[in-house]
Amino acid sequence: MAEHPHCDSLILHKNGECDYCDVYPDRQAQRIADGINFTGHKDPNKKPCPSEALRPAYIAHRWHGNRPTNIEVPLEPPSKYAIILESKDED
């Protein structure tokens, strides 16, 4: 078994989103216990994904070796309109 599910060792997707990450249920459980977001998730009550501290998920996911297998993910930055809508949801 590989040491990490993805080329970027800091990426870890939520259970059910990625067949590679689902092989590591202990790591997924630890991330939940530590209150850390999974890659691509932005719960403001949790710490950011360690990979996303370096760059946004859409950039990390551009490399196919880092993408989840079971969900579609954006590979481009969000539009300014989407950013505005997201900020209104936080208010």
DSSP assignment of 17-62 equals T-TTGGG-HHHHHHHHHTTBPPTT---TTSBPPTGGGTS-HHHHTT
For residue 64, the SS3 value is helix
Q: Which two tokens stand for residue 23?
A: 């092989």
Give percent above pLDDT 90 in the chain: 70
Give the domain extent around 77.
21-90
Q: Round to whole Å and give the CA distance between 54 and 6.
A: 16
Q: Please, which pLDDT band fits residue 82 given cuts at 50, 70 and 90?
A: confident
Q: Please, which pLDDT band fits residue 56 given cuts at 50, 70 and 90?
A: very high
Mean pLDDT value across residues 30-37: 98
Q: How many domains does the chain have?
A: 1
Domain membership flag for residue 7: no
Domain membership flag for residue 69: yes
Domain membership flag for residue 84: yes
Structural element, H or E, at residue 86? helix 80-90
Q: Please, which pLDDT band fits residue 88 given cuts at 50, 70 and 90?
A: low
